[in-house]
Amino acid sequence: MHKFMLFPAIDLRAGKVVRLKQGKSDQQTTYESDPEMVARRWGDEGAIWLHVVNLDAAFGEETQTNLDALGHILKACKDRVKIQYGGGLRTLEAVEKALDLGITRAVLGTMALEDPTFGQDAIQSFGTDKIAFALDAFKGELMSRGWRESSGLSLMSYAHSLARIGASTLIYTNTQKDGMQTGVDWKKAKQLAEETGLRVIASGGVGSLEDIKRVKSAGLEGVIVGRALYEKKFGFQEALTC
């Protein structure tokens, strides 16, 4: 049986650790100004992975501040915590740069939706274990450009197309639940895993230990947790052992 993974989220905006509600930039809560300290804290508490998102890059804004923050996070996590990183990775060069910095897995979203060959090229260039695909869905339709635009693609058909090109890992977010702490859309995540045969990480909506238990019981790869951890709804160790 595979080891269920808990991914603390570090969402970066202007170099600070924030959370958005439903991905809306005007619904932002800032939690910490020192991402390196946050990364070190999760590592000290037993995290094996971190899920880091460059929100500024996802929104098409200035991104160097967040890249500097990523560098500090990688320094804090060196040799002990793996980094899954996404947000604005829209060229193979950007993916290569991120991997060269030391991230373990790059998360592709917008460009993989807009250009069917991009995901395949990334898998061929860097290997399937180095690439994950973000499936951010609003009422079953995939969103792009920082969740601001509809791609016109349906969740399930796109997931099947990723399976055909050799993808191994999907990150599924129900955007209506993200940051709301109203429960994870684990049923759809489970359906994705069962129908595609791919590893699926659930994201969005964790508000209690019960939510994590449901995802775990569904046989999914893992769950990404943000606001609930930062607002101390439960401790990381509690979440690890629930």
Per-residue pLDDT of the chain (242 residues; tens, 9 = 90+): 578 999 999 999 999 999 887 777 788 999 999 999 999 999 999 999 999 999 999 888 888 999 999 999 999 998 899 999 999 999 999 999 999 999 999 999 989 999 989 999 999 999 999 999 999 998 878 988 877 788 888 999 999 999 999 999 999 998 887 667 778 999 999 999 999 999 999 998 899 999 999 999 999 999 999 999 999 999 999 999 98
Query: Which is the catalytic residue, given 56, 79, 136, 178?
Result: 136
Does the active-site annotation cover 26? no
Quick check: helix, strand or coil at residue 28?
strand
Query: Exposed, middle or buried by CB within 10 Å (0-12, 13-18, 19+), for 57?
Result: buried
Instruction: Give me the residue label for tokens 């993200």.
Output: 178
Cα of first residue to Cα of last residue in the chain, in angstroms, is: 17
Contact indicator for 124, 117 with CB cutoff of 8 Å: no
Provide the residue ranges of all domains of the chain, joining segments of one domain with +: 5-241
The CATH topology of domain 5-241 is: TIM Barrel (3.20.20)
pTM for this model (two decimals): 0.95
User: CA-to-CA distance for 112 and 108, rounded, in angstroms?
Assistant: 6
Does the active-site annotation cover 44? no
Question: Two tokens at 167?
Answer: 């993808």
